[in-house]
């Protein structure tokens, strides 16, 4: 594939002549006649090199360079300033704002070609080095928690599992609530009106940088870091940003040893995209016939995403003491899938934890349900060490 070169110049003759000359060398040429157009095209096209004029009416090349360098999506693109300004101070300013090279007009085509080739070769070597660095980067253990339908305790299990993993490992743990418009954990933990997830989903996927994701995290008194979903119902439309979700999970995996994802209920497109990126998946089930049938269908669909069934755990969450609740052995038989853990009813524990703005595991670690969640965490720790 031909390397893209973006030429930004308000002189039509320069755009045409330089563009034609470089096109004959096999490059794909993009053109912009002012600074604003240049910024937009750079963000949209991600060229291999930008050939940038300094003197332009709406925004000079220095300001264009500053903005390109501030945006993580364009910060690494090589910039060759190509201008009639010949004073030494002009060149110094160009390098200070972030230009990689500087040529004055007029210049011989051979000289321009040599500078272009040198910059592209240098950037290619830098890119290979960055690929090696990223391949050596630590990637955390990702657990996706979901259910076939709402109200089965996914958020409660996810938040308490994150707290349990932090308690057991004393290492970085992130809980990401990925259901915009349906957030509950922010209010439960005393951190309402969070906009971090919204900001990540609203932009382009190239803007979902490691720094941006880290900046969106909030640290709870428990030590767990949270990425929290908004409570505003209209924000549910952001679930259509599948590419942003994918980029988010990649970034989160580099920020903590364990990442717990609250995926909510069902299999919307973003969840279908995220599940294959998880190390393991936990399906929350209730001991009721209809819930079991829905959960059985969910597990079949997850397996249909070419996911190993052995990486799908089932947690039977008995939220209420009731004779209508089926025993674990019955649920397992009806489900056609083994049950990893069973949580006993604890109707007083979770409201108390909410009043204390913490998790049940932190509130009453010796409670039977808390101990069961800690045991789930112990199993994850064992599997993580065996990877």
Mean pLDDT of the chain: 88
Does residue 268 register a pLDDT over 90?
Answer: yes
pLDDT of residue 136: 41
DSSP code of 262?
E
When pLDDT is averaged across residues 152-174 and rounded to a whole number, the result is: 93
Instruction: State mean pLDDT over 228-235.
Output: 92
In terms of Cβ atoms closer than 10 Å to its own Cβ (0-12, 13-18, 19+), residue 94 is buried
pLDDT above 70 for 321:
no
Cα 333 to Cα 127, 183, 301, 328, 330: the distances in Å are: 53, 34, 19, 9, 5
Sequence-distant (≥ 6) Cβ neighbours of residue 44 within 8 angstroms: none
Q: How far is CA 104 from the centre of its chain?
A: 42
Say which CATH architecture domain 4-135 belongs to: 3-Layer(aba) Sandwich (3.40)
Specify the pLDDT at position 324.
Answer: 67
In which element (H, E) is residue 121 found? helix 109-136
- How do residues 116-142 score in pLDDT, each as one tens digit? 999 998 877 665 444 344 434 558 999
The tens digit of pLDDT for each residue in 100-120 reads 998 887 778 888 899 999 999
The answer to whether domain 4-135 and domain 140-386 are alike in fold is yes
* pTM for this model (two decimals): 0.66
In the sheet with 225-227, reading across from the earlier edge strand, the strands are: 218-219, 225-227, 173-177, 258-265, 141-147, 280-285, 312-317, 341-343
- State the Cα–Cα distance between residues 126 and 137, nearest whole angstrom: 17
For residues 82 and 18, what is the distance between their CA atoms, to the nearest angstrom?
11
Q: For residue 194, which phi and psi values (nearest 5 degrees)?
A: -85, 140
Flag whether pLDDT at 240 surpasses 70.
Answer: yes
Looking at domain 140-386, its CATH class is alpha beta
Neighbours of 178 (CB within 10 A): 26
Q: How far apart are CA 294 and CA 290, in angstroms?
A: 6
Domain ranges of the chain: 4-135, 140-386
């Amino acid at each position: 594939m031909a390397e893209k070169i973006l030429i930004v110049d308000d002189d039509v003759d320069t755009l045409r002549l330089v563009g034609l000359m470089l096109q004959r060398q096999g490059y794909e040429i993009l053109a912009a006649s002012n600074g604003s157009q240049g910024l937009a095209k750079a963000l949209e096209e991600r060229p291999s090199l930008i050939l940038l004029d300094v003197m332009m009416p709406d925004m000079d090349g220095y300001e264009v360079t500053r903005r390109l360098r501030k945006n993580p999506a364009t910060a690494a693109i090589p910039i060759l300033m190509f201008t009639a300004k010949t004073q030494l101070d002009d060149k110094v300013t160009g390098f200070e704002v972030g230009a990689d090279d500087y040529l004055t007009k007029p210049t011989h085509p051979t000289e321009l070609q040599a500078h272009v080739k040198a910059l592209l070769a240098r950037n290619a070597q830098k890119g290979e080095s960055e690929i090696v660095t990223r391949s050596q980067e630590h990637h955390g253990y990702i657990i996706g928690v979901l259910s076939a339908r709402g109200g089965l305790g996914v958020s409660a299990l996810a938040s308490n599992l994150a707290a349990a993993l932090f308690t057991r490992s004393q290492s970085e743990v992130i809980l990401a609530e990925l259901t915009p418009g349906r957030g509950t954990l922010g209010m439960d933990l005393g951190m309402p009106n969070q906009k971090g997830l919204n900001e990540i989903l609203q932009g382009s996927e190239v803007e979902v940088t490691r720094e941006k994701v880290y900046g969106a995290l909030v640290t709870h008194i428990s030590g767990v870091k949270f990425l929290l979903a908004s409570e505003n119902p209209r924000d549910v439309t952001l679930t259509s940003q599948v590419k942003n979700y994918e980029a988010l999970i990649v970034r989160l995996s580099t920020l903590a040893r364990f990442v717990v994802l609250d995926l909510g209920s069902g299999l919307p497109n973003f969840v279908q995209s995220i599940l294959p990126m998880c190390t393991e998946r936990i399906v929350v089930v209730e001991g009721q016939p209809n819930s079991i049938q829905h959960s059985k269908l969910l597990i079949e669909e997850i397996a249909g995403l070419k996911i190993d069934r052995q990486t799908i755990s089932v947690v039977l969450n008995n939220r209420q003491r009731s004779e209508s609740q089926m025993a674990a052995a019955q649920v397992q038989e009806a489900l056609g899938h083994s049950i990893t853990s069973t949580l006993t009813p604890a109707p007083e524990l979770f409201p108390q934890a909410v009043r204390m703005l913490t998790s049940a595991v932190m509130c009453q670690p010796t409670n039977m349900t808390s101990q069961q969640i800690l045991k789930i965490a112990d199993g994850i720790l064992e599997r993580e060490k065996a990877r």
